[in-house]
Chains A and B, each alone.
Chain A
Amino acid sequence: MLFNSLDFIIFFVVVFTAYVWLPHRGQNILLLVASYFFYGCWDWRFLSLIALSTTVDFVASNGIYRSDDPQTRKRLLVFSIVINLGILGFFKYFNFFVDSATALLAGFGLETPRLNLHIILPVGISFYTFQSMSYTLDVYRGQLVPTRRFTDYALFVSLFTQLVAGPIERAKNLLSQVTSPRVVTWSGIQTGTWLFFWGLFKKVVIGDNLALLVDQVFGGSVAWNTGSVLLGIYAFALQIYCDFSAYSDMARGLGMYLGFNIMINFRNPYFALNPSELWRRWHISLSTWLRDYLYIPLGGNRRGPRRTYINLLLTMVLGGLWHGAAWTFVLWGAFHGGLLALHRWFQERWPPAPTLSWAGRGWRTLAMFHATCFGWLLFRANSMRDVTGMLKALLQPGWLPEFPGWIFQILLLALPLLGIQIRQERTQDPLAPLRLSLFPRIILYTFMLFMLVTYANTGSRAFIYFQF
């Protein structure tokens, strides 16, 4: 059940109507049942996985909290991590590691039997596993008191608004909202409506329409040359941003209807001036998770520059692997790790100016955008062979009759987005469009409505990040 489907709208209207009439405990039970139903709509068999993950972390965290024995606490933590990563590793990475090991052994001339299993990847497994793990880790570190109600914890893990593609919420933010009464307000409905429709617009008008172009380029159905590869990469950069940030916006919007304040996951990432800023603007919930539970425990920047660079690289490689079981994702992670390390190296030698001129900001933004786009080539390419093929094609000038139409389409879809984002960036306010005066708002809403009716891709294409 996709957010951009009629099925979901009916589902949400039914849930919301019941929700506003129920007391707090009833609301939580309703949301838990609705969330399991929502997840079960993909494949009811995977409900057992989310239930297992929830139960293990609930029991382990309560055990950790109650125990004074450091050994017991550690054992419970390891038990929780092994179960969570075991489920994730088996369903997501088993075939990848087997294939890689087979290829490696074959390189040494050793033939091994095929061990590939037909495993279906449970949707959103990476998101809820990380969310659930962060809870146990926070309890272990003494930063959180575990909840005593299983249903509250189960709702924290499975809340349908952000279950399948994040943001990866922290218990400090979301669980406290689950356990305390929530208020449905007109203001929340207004903001929620804007966020939902803005997300819907980004997804079905921009993202899904650009997907048609992107699929042609990366699928190899058009000849690769400088023009086609560049247009394909620019289109993908827009598509993935619109697709993923759309889900986060819609999740936040739906949360606001229900009285939840779900964290912001994107802050105009393509306006970033450097790699470090990019990761403070892109998929914030994952980058802060990796920072808090991987980079800092590895030593962060406390053990000298060389170790810092290694930590950055390692964190980003694992971040890349989190996205998917393929070497292209590993390479993408390594690329960003390398960029972060390089940026830090430069910063240490040439500290940045406290203020930047308009032109200085402009060229840095453009340079960072193009570096990000290069990363997207690695991310989206279907195989390592395609990566090399497309990189070679970047140096082969060429023209296709489709180009004028593609350029027109990319501009048509990118310009409204850019207009809104410039406004958000200048005011540092994600809800800047809501604060416009009446006339520009009417123009904006009419334009969005018109495009949703006439140009939305109604093919119900799943969100890209569902596969992660």
Chain B
Amino acid sequence: MLVLNPIQPSLAEAEVRWLKRYGWLFPVLGFPLGLLIKGALWSGTLLNASFLPSNLAGWLSPLGLLIGTIISLVPVAWWLMLTLEIKIKSGGRGWLLAPVMACVCFILLEMAFRTYPVQAIFWQGVIARAGDQTQAREVGLYRLQAAADRKAKSPAGFVFPGSSQVVQGIDCAELSQLTGAPVYRRAVSGLFPIELICSQGLITFNHDNRLILLLSGFDVGARADLVPDAIRPQATWSGLRHVLRAAPASFQLRHWRNFVDLCFAASCDLWRSRDYVRFMWENPVAPNIIRNNAAAQSALNQQLQGYQRLGSNPEMVALCWQALDLFLGDMAQHFQNIIVFESRINPTSPPSASALDLENQTRRFFENQQHLQRIRFIPRAAQHLDLPPEYWADNTHVNAAGRQLLTEMIARFVDDTSP
């Protein structure tokens, strides 16, 4: 068996000699590089690619100087490591030091990634590259707003998480104006109940907030299976634990790989954001603006097919209700109050008998939650809102006129409970 020597003294000496000879290059090249990263590359990587600093002061930025300083310190760190390694060489298991320190570096990277400046840079970069990829833009906006709201002590207002029905159906600026309180939108296409529950950690940031939900049997039965790709970018432990508790052991066993993936995502922000780190690598500068009409048509067809299969997996429906029960019970502690509006779909799509049954059961579920004084439930019948087919853009999303009506209706109900 090959026995490895962690480092040969001659190699260490050669490296020390090299550092003494060429170490000065790091600060000499590091500062210009740092200023370039903060200057030209920074501008190129974000929205304002055309803007380049035209004067010296524009190039001399604190962040650029900080990057330059970090690069300048590389030879010092290298030298310290060399002396450290020579000291521990006789320790026997010195080879463990590098992997352990790499893990420490990774944890530091993770901590840096969680800070607001890095989050802001990163998610702005994602939004800048999104082009017509709406999912990337929505997730980027969601995460950027979540990071900003957590950093700043945002005033109490309404938190409005939800799926594309909220993205396209609610005008948050208008709602904010109508209610006189800030509205924090946390909506992404495909944020159905399980995804919404898992995102709990990103929607709770002020105990005086009020939570608005737009849910119905359509949302509860929308997923035929667990979709980790949809959950991952918003997964947090505070929400994932409800799904884990609600899922029966057999379900957990069958989906153990997905749950491991989601547990990673809930624990490590770099894993949670991995799809978008990849997105950044794949779109280094230029936004992807390839318009894909075929994909849009395919999405519409999938939406229609999905509606036909509503609630096709009773196990998922049961999991949704069970997890929602735990989620709402917990949310009642984190919010001033919770208002659930029963959502609706285009009346031209006649619901199947099973879909109607699911709608009724979900309505009863929310009525029961109201009975437990966790939420205030506004069923469709109580909304006094008529949305005929001309107010709909497609099967599930309202158009601009429908958005206006829906927003006003919600404002009417939440106005008397303004924070």
Binding site for B on A (CB under 8 A): 6-7, 183, 185-188, 190-191, 193, 259, 261, 401, 404-405, 408-409, 412, 431, 434-435, 437-439, 441-442, 444-446, 448-450, 453-455, 458
- Chain B contacts with A in 276-314, Cβ cutoff 8 A: 277-278, 281-286, 290
With both chains docked as a complex, state the minimum distance between the C-beta of A252 and any C-beta of chain B, in angstroms.
11
State the CA gap A90–B397 with chains docked (Å).
Answer: 56
State the CA gap A441–B109 with chains docked (Å).
Answer: 17
Q: Are B290 and A187 in contact (CB under 8 A)?
A: no
State the CA gap A114–B225 with chains docked (Å).
Answer: 42
Closest B residue to A188 by beta carbon equals B1
Task: Give the residues in chain B near A187, CB-CB below 8 Å.
Answer: 1-4
Q: Are A441 and B284 in contact (CB under 8 A)?
A: no
Q: Are B278 and A455 in contact (CB under 8 A)?
A: yes
Could you pull out 5 A-B pairs where Cβ atoms are within 8 angstroms?
Answer: A185-B1, A191-B4, A438-B82, A441-B98, A446-B102
Binding site for A on B (CB under 8 A): 1-8, 11-12, 15, 77-78, 81-82, 84-85, 93, 95, 97-99, 101-103, 105-106, 109, 257, 260-261, 268, 270-271, 273-274, 277-278, 281-286, 290
Q: Are B281 and A455 in contact (CB under 8 A)?
A: yes
Task: Give the residues in chain A near B109, CB-CB below 8 Å.
Answer: 446, 450
Task: Give the residues in chain B near A412, CB-CB below 8 Å.
Answer: 281
Q: Are A435 and B7 in contact (CB under 8 A)?
A: yes
Checking A186, A191, A409, A441 against B93 with a beta-carbon cut-off of 8 angstroms, the contacting residue is A186
Q: Are A435 and B4 in contact (CB under 8 A)?
A: yes
Checking B12, B84, B270 against A454 with a beta-carbon cut-off of 8 angstroms, the contacting residue is B270
A412, A434, A441 — most chain B CB neighbours (10 Å): A441
Known contacts A449-B103, A450-B106, A458-B261; A438/B270 CB under 8 A: no
New A-B contacts (11) at CB < 8 Å, excluding given A437-B12, A449-B103: A183-B1, A185-B1, A191-B2, A404-B286, A412-B281, A434-B95, A437-B11, A442-B81, A445-B98, A453-B270, A455-B274
Task: Give the residues in chain B near A190, CB-CB below 8 Å.
Answer: 4, 95
Q: Are A454 and B271 in contact (CB under 8 A)?
A: yes
With both chains docked as a complex, state the minimum distance between the C-beta of B107 and any C-beta of chain A, in angstroms.
10
Which 7 residue pairs spanning A and B have beta carbons closest together? A445-B102, A439-B81, A454-B277, A441-B98, A438-B81, A438-B85, A446-B105
Determine the main DSSP class of A at the interface with B: helix
State the CA gap A192–B370 with chains docked (Å).
Answer: 58
B1, B15, B85 — most chain A CB neighbours (10 Å): B1
State the CA gap A437–B6 with chains docked (Å).
Answer: 7
Task: Give the residues in chain B near A442, CB-CB below 8 Å.
Answer: 81, 98, 101-102, 105
Closest B residue to A212 by beta carbon equals B282
Q: Are B282 and A405 in contact (CB under 8 A)?
A: yes
B85, B98, B268 — most chain A CB neighbours (10 Å): B98
State the CA gap A6–B257 with chains docked (Å).
Answer: 7
State the CA gap A193–B93 with chains docked (Å).
Answer: 14
State the CA gap A426–B284 with chains docked (Å).
Answer: 32
Task: Give the residues in chain A near B105, CB-CB below 8 Å.
Answer: 442, 446
With both chains docked as a complex, state the minimum distance between the C-beta of A251 and any C-beta of chain B, in angstroms.
17
State the CA gap A366–B7 with chains docked (Å).
Answer: 33
Q: Are A446 and B4 in contact (CB under 8 A)?
A: no
Task: Give the residues in chain B near A401, CB-CB below 8 Å.
Answer: 290
Q: Are B82 and A404 in contact (CB under 8 A)?
A: no
Closest A residue to B98 by beta carbon equals A441
Closest A residue to B103 by beta carbon equals A449
State the CA gap A105–B102 with chains docked (Å).
Answer: 64
State the CA gap A193–B273 with chains docked (Å).
Answer: 27
Q: Are A453 and B98 in contact (CB under 8 A)?
A: no
Q: Are B2 and A450 in contact (CB under 8 A)?
A: no
With both chains docked as a complex, state the minimum distance between the C-beta of A417 and any C-beta of chain B, in angstroms.
16
Q: Are A437 and B7 in contact (CB under 8 A)?
A: yes
Closest B residue to A458 by beta carbon equals B261
With both chains docked as a complex, state the minimum distance between the C-beta of B127 and any C-beta of chain A, in angstroms.
18
Q: Are B97 and A438 in contact (CB under 8 A)?
A: yes
Task: Give the residues in chain A near B5, CB-CB below 8 Å.
Answer: 435
With both chains docked as a complex, state the minimum distance between the C-beta of B322 and any C-beta of chain A, in angstroms.
26
Task: Give the residues in chain B near A261, CB-CB below 8 Å.
Answer: 1
Task: Give the residues in chain B near A188, CB-CB below 8 Å.
Answer: 1-2
Task: Give the residues in chain A near B286, CB-CB below 8 Å.
Answer: 404-405
State the CA gap A446–B105 with chains docked (Å).
Answer: 6
With both chains docked as a complex, state the minimum distance between the C-beta of A437 and any C-beta of chain B, in angstroms.
5
Closest B residue to A197 by beta carbon equals B99
State the CA gap A190–B96 with chains docked (Å).
Answer: 8
With both chains docked as a complex, state the minimum distance between the C-beta of B399 and any C-beta of chain A, in angstroms.
32
Q: Are B103 and A437 in contact (CB under 8 A)?
A: no
Q: Are B271 and A449 in contact (CB under 8 A)?
A: no
Task: Give the residues in chain B near A448, CB-CB below 8 Å.
Answer: 102
Task: Give the residues in chain A near B93, CB-CB below 8 Å.
Answer: 186
With both chains docked as a complex, state the minimum distance between the C-beta of B360 and any C-beta of chain A, in angstroms.
39
Known contacts A408-B284, A450-B106, A454-B274; A437/B15 CB under 8 A: yes
Q: Are A445 and B99 in contact (CB under 8 A)?
A: yes
Checking A6, A439, A446, A449 against B260 with a beta-carbon cut-off of 8 angstroms, the contacting residue is A6
Q: Are A437 and B81 in contact (CB under 8 A)?
A: yes
Known contacts A191-B4, A438-B7; A404/B278 CB under 8 A: no
Closest B residue to A445 by beta carbon equals B102
State the CA gap A401–B82 with chains docked (Å).
Answer: 46
State the CA gap A435–B268 with chains docked (Å).
Answer: 31
Task: Give the residues in chain B near A450, CB-CB below 8 Å.
Answer: 106, 109, 270
With both chains docked as a complex, state the minimum distance between the C-beta of A432 and any C-beta of chain B, in angstroms.
11
State the CA gap A185–B4 with chains docked (Å).
Answer: 11
Q: Are A453 and B274 in contact (CB under 8 A)?
A: yes
Task: Give the residues in chain A near B77, CB-CB below 8 Å.
Answer: 439
Task: Give the residues in chain A near B273, CB-CB below 8 Å.
Answer: 454
